[in-house]
A = this chain, B = another copy of it.
Amino acid sequence: MKGFDIHSALKRTSKKFGKAPGTLEYTGDYKAEPTSIIMYSFDTESFSENEVDDVQKLKRELPKGKVNWIRLHGFRDIPKIRQIGQIFDINSLVLEDALNPYQRAKVEDMGNYLYITLKVFEGGKTLHDINAHQMNIILMDNCVITLNEAREPYLDLILDRIKRSEGRIRGKGHDYFVNAVVDLIVDSYFIVLEGISDNLENLEKKLREKDVKDFVGSVYDLRRLLTSVRRAIWPIRDIVAYLDSGASKLVSDEIKFYIKDIYDHIMHLIETVESLRDVTASLLDLHMTDLSNRMNEIMKMLTIISTLFIPLTFIVGVYGMNFKYMPELDVRWAYPVVWLVMIIIAGLMLLFFKKKDWI
């Protein structure tokens, strides 16, 4: 669970103690990768892709009437990132957040641009392989800048869709492009939740089959994961609500319905996450009661056997004593009588257990 574990997050964050706000520094898990900047420009007719060397020039020559996407990844070259900040007039507080891979999801309306940051979940084969990356999006009126620790596969998916001219993505503005990215990320949460849900279903099945090896540990792990996912999802509601509010002129009315669609997904995610938490709690309750039930059964067994034989063992012990003068020992029918007495005692005991509903 790289990239959103609560313990690591605290370790990274506390490393920055005492620094002035706005100090640029990469605090992530990756060895900072070399910084690469690619510029994509597209509209319904054309599509171009260029490696960017001179950022200054890039800013001056941004094509009009096209969607311009500046894709930066790799945080090794901090001075270059600072330079981009200066050229595009991006507040250093924003860049500080962008370099922090444990930044909580949020939107900041900085007036002439919007800064959106949220977690992307990259599913592995198993739940333990799940990684979270930080996605940073800066929406300006003439371009969108994305910043990532490493080349983000999710953005490649979007890029494919652009190249294949799929959906509306080439015919709409910068705001629609941002909407498409956020929509894709939100969709990725369903996959993580599906993984958790599958695991829970599995645990439930095992529990019904009394196969409880590692049960509690697994529930605990899923709960931890759910808590992390939950912490990632809830703030996105506020992001999308802000985009929908019409407070920023960078988001046009035209894409209102697309934002509402994402909002609907977020609500679905939130309800699902809460339901899954419910399920884990119920599973634990089920397990606890099950344990108690089995303990009852075990103790009943012990009690029945002990209660049945301990008195009898005492009786035979009595007649194993070696006293010289024990008149019973010489009586001829004493032995069968002792057996009779013992059988009667055992019978009464069994009746008692029957009445108690123990057998």
Interface of A with B (CB < 8 Å)?
A: 6-7, 9-11, 13-14, 16-18, 20-23, 91, 93, 97, 104, 106, 108, 110, 157, 161, 166-169, 179-180, 183-184, 187-188, 190-191, 193-194, 197-198, 200-201, 208, 210, 212, 216-217, 220, 223-224, 227-228, 231, 235, 257-258, 260-262, 264, 267-268, 271-272, 275-276, 278-279, 282-303, 305-307, 309-314, 316-326, 328-330, 332-335, 338, 356-358
Chain B residues with CB under 8 Å of A235's CB are: 267
Contacting pair B286 A289 (CB below 8 A): no
Contacting pair A216 B329 (CB below 8 A): no
Which 9 A-B residue pairs are closest in the complex by CB-CB distance?
A20-B167, A316-B317, A319-B321, A302-B303, A10-B194, A320-B320, A14-B190, A323-B335, A14-B194
Contacting pair A299 B295 (CB below 8 A): yes
Chain B residues with CB under 8 Å of A157's CB are: 18
Chain B residues with CB under 8 Å of A291's CB are: 289, 292-293, 296
Of the listed residues A106, A157, A217, A314, the one surrounded by the most CB atoms of chain B closer than 10 A to its CB is A314
Contacting pair B317 A326 (CB below 8 A): no
Chain B residues with CB under 8 Å of A314's CB are: 309, 312-313, 316
Contacting pair B197 A20 (CB below 8 A): no
Contacting pair A104 B323 (CB below 8 A): no
Chain B residues with CB under 8 Å of A284's CB are: 285, 289
Given A20-B167, A284-B289, A316-B320: A299 touches B302 (CB 8 Å cut-off) = yes
Give the CA-CA distance A359 to B99 in the complex, in Å.
Answer: 52
Contacting pair B194 A11 (CB below 8 A): yes
Question: Would you list 6 pairs from A and B whose C-beta atoms are within 8 A, ordered by A residue?
Answer: A11-B194, A288-B292, A295-B296, A301-B307, A313-B317, A320-B322
Chain B residues with CB under 8 Å of A110's CB are: 257
**Chain B, residue nearest A290 (CB):** B216
Pick the contact of A306: B10, B11, B293, B306 (CB < 8 A). Answer: B306
Give the CA-CA distance A23 to B166 in the complex, in Å.
Answer: 10
Given A272-B6, A278-B227, A307-B305: A323 touches B318 (CB 8 Å cut-off) = no
Give the CA-CA distance A212 to B357 in the complex, in Å.
Answer: 12
Give the CA-CA distance A91 to B256 in the complex, in Å.
Answer: 12
Of the listed residues A10, A180, A231, A257, the one surrounded by the most CB atoms of chain B closer than 10 A to its CB is A10
Chain B residues with CB under 8 Å of A104's CB are: 264, 267-268, 271
Give the CA-CA distance A18 to B212 in the complex, in Å.
Answer: 37
Contacting pair B289 A292 (CB below 8 A): no
Contacting pair A16 B292 (CB below 8 A): no
Smallest CB separation, A358 vs chain B (Å): 7
Smallest CB separation, A92 vs chain B (Å): 9
Contacting pair B264 A97 (CB below 8 A): yes
Contacting pair A310 B305 (CB below 8 A): yes
Chain B residues with CB under 8 Å of A293's CB are: 212, 216, 291
Chain B residues with CB under 8 Å of A298's CB are: 296, 299-300, 303, 358
**Chain B, residue nearest A352 (CB):** B301
Contacting pair B10 A190 (CB below 8 A): yes
Give the CA-CA distance A21 to B257 in the complex, in Å.
Answer: 10
Give the CA-CA distance A299 to B248 in the complex, in Å.
Answer: 66
Given A16-B187, A296-B298: A286 touches B216 (CB 8 Å cut-off) = yes
